[in-house]
Amino acid sequence: MPMNTIAKSPAKDPTVADGLRKLCIHDGAPPQIHQVIALAGEALRASEARYHALFELGPMAVYCCDAEGVIKEYNRRAVELWGREPAPGDADQTFFGTLKLLRSDGSYIPHDRTPMADVLRGALPAVCDAEVVLERPCGKQVTVIVNIRPQKNERAEITGVINCFYDITERRQTMESLRLANAAMKAAGNAIFITDRDGFIEYINPAFTSLTGYEAAEAIGQKASLVRSDTHGQAFYHDLWQTVLAGKIWRGKITNRHRKGTMYVSDQTIAPVKDHNGEIIHFVSVQEDITERMQVEEAQHRAEVLAASNRKLELEILHRKTVEEALRTSQATSNELLENSRQMQEQLRQLSHQALLAQEEERKRISRELHDVIAQTLTGINLRLALLQKETCASTQELHEKIAQTQQLVADSVDTVHRFARDLRPAMLDDLGLIPALEAYLKDFTQQTGLQVNLKTDAGVEELGSTGRTVLYRVAQEALTNVVRHARATRVDVSLQKTNGIHCMVITDNGQGFAWDDSLMAKNSKRLGMLGMRERVEIIGGRFRVASVPGQHTTILVEIPADTNNARNISSPYHEPHYHPAG
């Protein structure tokens, strides 16, 4: 079928249709003619169906206009490229289906200057492979190649045009990418060459010529070993080829030979190029000349070697300065230690002084008690006996009463002497042990003070030596005395137990607490206080700790090892973080 009749099928031509109708009704026509006519009509319909299938399904975009440029027919591919679907026969839409047409340089083409318009008015006989740009309603541009032919009647008059066009946008982008890649490779500072799978050079960039001295005409077609030097052995190149043939990238430092025979060193990367099936078809090599850098590094190394003696001298000077500074620091440290020693000596002097004062006060107290109590009691006995002597003539009943009173005074004196002796050194502690001695002391303490004291004991503490038992007893005495004087407590809990070879005593009251660090250093106190208790404990290798906050209860913890020779190696079973080492 001629291209200039694409806008009309024979079945739709009114002249052909009228002739067929006349043949069908012609009187006297033989039956064979009717059969021929029927077959011709069927053939025309089949041809029309094929025409429409080709028109709609073909990959080429096709549309046609009448003599006025009004679009009459178009296929779906044209709609896809236009990005819109015009109304056939719309006189307001002429020459092309898109709303805007541009030249390849991006300049706008008016409607009456489009290639379709030029062919319709006869300015151009036809258009072959012209490039234009369609702009879709969304703003996206599509580059197409157009081929335009006029349709003419039997009088050679133009009755319309047919435009066949196809999209080259992706191809143009690919070509642009290739052009850009080629330009980038030519402009690259690193030497680049491409070989086939067998290592024959197919492309080099200008930097390759600058690096190796070989022009493209000399290098292309040659093996890549063209620049190989004798620096590396066969094993080196064997490993290189095994790497790239396995589809991996090889990177390394390599020494090659210039066209003039000089050597150069480069950091080289060789990467395989694969086709769509994953088969290696080429290798791309990129080389960076590091010869100058290597020379600089070697020169720097030589300079470092030459400067080694200077650095050694500088280090010696620095060492001497460091030693001098260390000596100055050592002197300062010695002075500081000396000052600390003086302070510690002063503290020890204060402690000794306080201990002497406490001892003296204890002697005074004993003296007063003996004088005021026992002496007065004995004086009373003497007076009673004197009166008894003068009154020998008195009645026997009265004499008995006076003698009974005298005996009571003597008994009271004996009790008082015993109590004083127990306070100074309870015999029960040596005879019966720590627990009975504490029980007796706490019973008497409760009777005298009214404080409720709860004692919880473990028989294992009796394994402690005499010195350790004495220390625990004295600490308990001092702690309970402090409770009475300062704590304002109503209850005291005393616990004695042996855990992991450590003898522990815990004393807790429900009193008002105190700032423990202030109490430890109470210089004006007439008692040993916390510092005295700590000294007692630490002298035999124990540990003394206090937990107290003003307004809350106070807890004293004493830990004494079974072997009092291990003075500083106590592993405490107590881990409460609020305990503080007293002093």
% of residues, the chain, pLDDT over 70: 74
Residue from 372, 411, 397, 402 nearest 384 by CA: 402
pLDDT given at position 497? 92
Contact of 51 with 9, CB cutoff 8 Å: yes
> Which of 389-403, 421-435, 460-474 shows the lowest per-residue confidence on average (mean pLDDT)?
389-403
Contacts (Cβ under 8 Å, ≥6 apart) of 188: 205, 207
Rounded mean pLDDT, 531-551? 85
Please state which of the ranges 168-172, 343-347, 362-366, 522-526 shows the lowest mean pLDDT.
Answer: 522-526
Contact 380, 408 (CB under 8 A): no
pLDDT higher than 90, residue 186: no
Range with the poorest average pLDDT among 291-300, 423-432, 570-579? 570-579
Do 544 and 582 form a contact (C-beta atoms < 8 A)? Answer: yes
Banded pLDDT at 391 (limits 50, 70, 90)? low
Query: What is the predicted pLDDT for the residue at 528?
Result: 52
pLDDT higher than 90, residue 17: no
Question: What's the pLDDT score for residue 421?
Answer: 57
Q: Say which residue, 515 or 558, is predicted with more confidence.
A: 558
Q: Which CATH class is domain 188-295?
A: alpha beta
Name the residue among 162, 147, 286, 303 with its Cα closest to residue 224.
Answer: 286
For the stretch 33-57, pLDDT in tens is 767 677 767 776 666 666 666 666 6
Asked if residue 453 has pLDDT above 80, the reply is yes
Asked whether the predicted pLDDT for residue 263 surpasses 70, the reply is: yes
Residue 358: phi, psi to the nearest 5?
A: -65, -40
For residue 3, pLDDT over 50 is answered with no
Mean pLDDT of the chain: 80
Superfamily name and number for 432-581: Histidine kinase-like ATPase, C-terminal domain (3.30.565.10)
The confidence score (pLDDT) of residue 499 equals 87
Of 147 and 174, more confident? 147
pLDDT of 271 > 90? The answer is yes
Handedness of CA 25, 26, 27, 29 (dihedral sign): negative
DSSP-derived 3-state class of residue 499: strand
304, 274 in Cβ contact below 8 A?
A: no
The reported pLDDT for the residue numbered 521 is: 47
Does residue 347 carry a pLDDT above 70?
A: yes
In the block, tokens 């306070």 appear at 423
Percent of the chain past pLDDT 90, that is, above it, reads 29
**115 vs 121: CA distance, rounded Å:** 10
Give 293-314 pLDDT, tens digit per residue. 888 888 888 888 888 888 888 8
Mean pLDDT for the stretch of residues 455-478 = 87
DSSP-assigned letters across all residues of 226-248 = GGB-SSS-HHHHHHHHHHHHTTP
Range scoring the smallest mean pLDDT among 48-62, 312-326, 506-520 = 48-62
Residues 6+ apart with CB under 8 A from 41: 11, 20
Whether 359 shows a pLDDT value over 60: the answer reads: no
User: In the prediction, which pLDDT does 310 show?
Assistant: 84
At 7, the pLDDT band (50, 70, 90 cuts) reads very low
* The pLDDT of residue 73: 87
Amino acid 201: pLDDT: 93
Read off the pLDDT of each residue in 54-64 and give the average, rounded to a whole number: 78
pLDDT at 143: 92
> Looking at residue 140, what is its pLDDT?
92
Strand order in the sheet with 191-196: 201-204, 191-196, 280-289, 263-274, 250-257
User: Exposure pattern of 201-220 as b/e (b: 16+ CB <10 Å)?
Assistant: bebbbebbbebbbbeeeebe
pLDDT of the residue at 352: 55
User: Exposed, middle or buried: residue 373 (CB in 10 Å: 0-12, 13-18, 19+)?
Assistant: middle
Q: Please tell me the CATH code under which domain 3-166 is placed.
A: 3.30.450.20
- pLDDT over threshold 90, residue 215: yes
For 372, residues 6+ apart whose C-beta sits below 8 A from its C-beta are none
pLDDT at 110 over 70: yes
pTM: 0.37
Please list, residue by residue across 20-48, b when 16 or more beta carbons sit within 10 angstroms of its beta carbon and e when fewer do. beeeeeeeeeeeeeeeebeeeeeebeeee
Phi, psi dihedrals of residue 39, rounded to the nearest 5°: -65, -40
Question: 361 pLDDT band (50/70/90 cuts)?
Answer: low
Q: Is the confidence at residue 91, as pLDDT, over 90?
A: no
What is the predicted pLDDT for the residue at 119?
Answer: 92
Sheet of 580-581, strands arranged across: 452-456, 491-499, 502-509, 554-561, 543-548, 580-581
Confidence of residue 557 (pLDDT cuts 50, 70, 90): very high
Paired sense of beta strands 100-103 and 127-135, if any: antiparallel
Which residue is listed with tokens 């001295």? Answer: 213
Instruction: Compute the average pLDDT of residues 106-120.
Output: 89
Q: What integer is the mean pLDDT of 17-32? A: 55
Q: What is the per-residue DSSP string for 428-450?
A: HHHHT-HHHHHHHHHHHHHHHH-
- Cα–Cα distance for residue pair 367/377, rounded to 1 Å: 15
Rounded to whole angstroms, what are the CA distances from 556 to 85, 306, 533?
A: 98, 70, 10
pLDDT at 283 over 70: yes
Instruction: Please list, in sequence order, all residues whose beta carbon lies within 8 angstroms of the beta carbon of residue 85, skipping any fewer than 6 positions away.
Output: 79, 97
